[in-house]
Amino acid sequence: MLGPLRRLLPAGWTLFGCLLPDLIDKPLFYGLLWTRGHPDALFTGTRTIGHTGLFLLALVLLAALTRSRPAWAIAAGVATHLLLDMGGELIAGADTESSIWLAIFYPRFGHRFPVAHFGSLYEHLRLSAESAYVIAGELLGFAILVRAWILCRRARARNHPT
């Protein structure tokens, strides 16, 4: 999705950025759920702080101030994650209380995040496994990673023949 920027940014940091929103928000939600037995009044789902435009803006400002390629790669990865989440919701749809737009434009639509319609990690995984959209997205993502791995191995073989 990054086009020519892909060659300028460190791949590992970009991948980290792609995962970062979920690495922040899912443990936060499930940690609160596990320790309290119910979601928090603010953190009502798995798309909270890491899925906000404010978080992305902070990363972009940090990258601009530091002029760091890894920081730009993280910001680009987070932007990619958010774009994919938005695209997924445009295709699959969501009700107003679980909409990704609540997180991305937080706090524009009030001081609330999207509500998760599951009460445990097991239920989340079960519902995801029943969704054709989620399965298709995971398979497509896996295919993209395999293709990138193959291209990387070919490039290494050309640069370092044995």
pLDDT of residue 1: 52
Which alpha helices (H) appear in 39-131, and where do they start and end? 53-66, 69-92, 100-104, 121-129
Q: Where are the domains of the chain?
A: 5-118, 131-162
Q: Give the model confidence (pLDDT) of 48-84 as tens digits.
A: 999 999 999 999 999 999 999 999 999 999 999 999 8
What is the tens place of the pLDDT at every residue in 7-38?
678 888 988 999 999 999 999 988 888 887 76
Position 86 pLDDT exceeds 90? no
pTM: 0.78
Nearest to 56 by CA among 66, 64, 68, 67: 64
User: Among residues of the chain, what percentage have pLDDT more than 90?
Assistant: 28
